[in-house]
Amino acid sequence: MTDQRTGVDVTDDEPEDPSATAPALHVHSTLDVDLDATADTGPELVEHAGTPDEVATARRRLRWWRELVYIGGLYALYSFVRNTFGSNGSAHGINVSPLAVAHAYGHAKDVIWFERSLGLFVEPHLQRWYLSLPHHGFIRFWNIYYGTFHFIVPIIALVWLFRHDPVHYAKWRNTAAITTTLALIGFAGYSLMPPRLLDATVVYGACNARYGLTCHHYGIVDTLVRYGGLWNFDSGTVANVSNQYAAMPSLHIGWSTWCALVLVPRVRHTWTKVLVALYPVLTFFCILVTGNHYWIDAVAGLVTLGVGYLLGSTLAKATSRWSDRRDARKLAAAEPVGA
């Protein structure tokens, strides 16, 4: 452009309309979908949590064999508690100590008194109603559910977390481990006869004549004995690897809720989220209708999980900071002198 007064060619530093000279930038509406599709997220997971550097660092620090060592140590602790306290407290296998039965039964009566004081001793009424349904409410399914889902689902959740979310794996692994350890302390310090054994005459039951206990007949049946399942608590093998009086707190509720907290935020489909979220609810129903727990055991299980989460998160943060400092020292030592 030429100035009419001076005859000097004057050109603007920038065009008046940038869009007239700049090429159009086309953004495809499918960009987000394409990015999600290329992420290494597995079939159901939404995406990795954390930055790529955080994911890479977390993966480098995880070792599958170390996790197996942790699990082995926790099982050794469980075995010690199982063989020292509860139904195997003063003997082994099905030769249960009369003193152990008396203690567990006394604690059960205390729990029942507390629930009755709240007007919430609902376990006999709930089970009686459910077993009155056609085909006894298919109670055999719940017997199988109780003994299988409790182990299978947490293992799946832990392995899934290890593979797809290494950044948060340590926190949730610590949570599960500490929750289980706290529960074992509860089993050792407060052996509790479950509802299914209150009227039972089996070796672990309160109504077995050899113990001379006052049997009150609460009206709760052992559904596993009456309707069957995949196994029986009274069989020699199962009796040797289980503590019949490990009811307070309920690890079934603690672990199932842990699974929901781990998986619900990490699965993509709504129906999967709903299904996983219902898992602890179904587990709560299961432990009541099968006579394996009082509802207050479930409350104690949630409290134990809450404490486990707080301690597990704190431990994971402390361990991460320690690992960061260790890596920084290694990096500094590897740098050439004078660099």
What is the per-residue DSSP string for 223-281?
A: HHHHH--S--TTSHHHHHT--TT--SS-HHHHHHHHHHHHHGGGB-SHHHHHHHHHHHH
Residue 14 lies in a domain: no
- Both tokens assigned to 99: 């003193």
Question: In this predicted structure, what is the pLDDT of residue 24?
Answer: 44
CA-CA distance, 304 to 90, in Å (whole number)? 27
CA-CA distance, 309 to 178, in Å (whole number)? 8
Residue 162 lies in a domain: yes
The boundaries of the domain holding residue 134 are 61-329
pLDDT in tens, the chain (339 residues): 555 555 545 454 444 444 444 444 443 433 333 333 333 444 455 444 667 767 777 777 778 888 888 888 888 888 788 767 766 654 444 567 888 899 999 999 999 999 999 999 999 999 999 999 999 999 999 999 998 999 999 999 999 999 888 888 999 999 999 999 999 999 999 999 999 999 999 888 999 988 888 888 899 999 998 998 776 666 555 555 678 899 999 999 999 999 999 999 999 899 999 999 999 999 999 999 999 999 999 999 999 999 999 999 999 899 878 877 877 777 777 776 555
Question: Amino acid letter at 248?
Answer: M
Question: In this predicted structure, what is the pLDDT of residue 108?
Answer: 97
Residue 82 lies in a domain: yes
Three-point CA angle 248, 257, 196, nearest 5°: 35
CA-CA distance, 295 to 151, in Å (whole number)? 21
* Nearest to 259, CA basis, from 305, 298, 297: 305
Residue 303 lies in a domain: yes
Residue 22 lies in a domain: no
9 φ, ψ (degrees, to nearest 5): -75, 120
Residue 266 lies in a domain: yes
Residue 150 lies in a domain: yes
pTM check: above 0.85:
no
Question: In this predicted structure, what is the pLDDT of residue 88?
Answer: 61
CA-CA distance, 149 to 275, in Å (whole number)? 14
Residue 55 lies in a domain: no
Question: In this predicted structure, what is the pLDDT of residue 86?
Answer: 67
Q: What total number of domains does the chain contain? A: 1
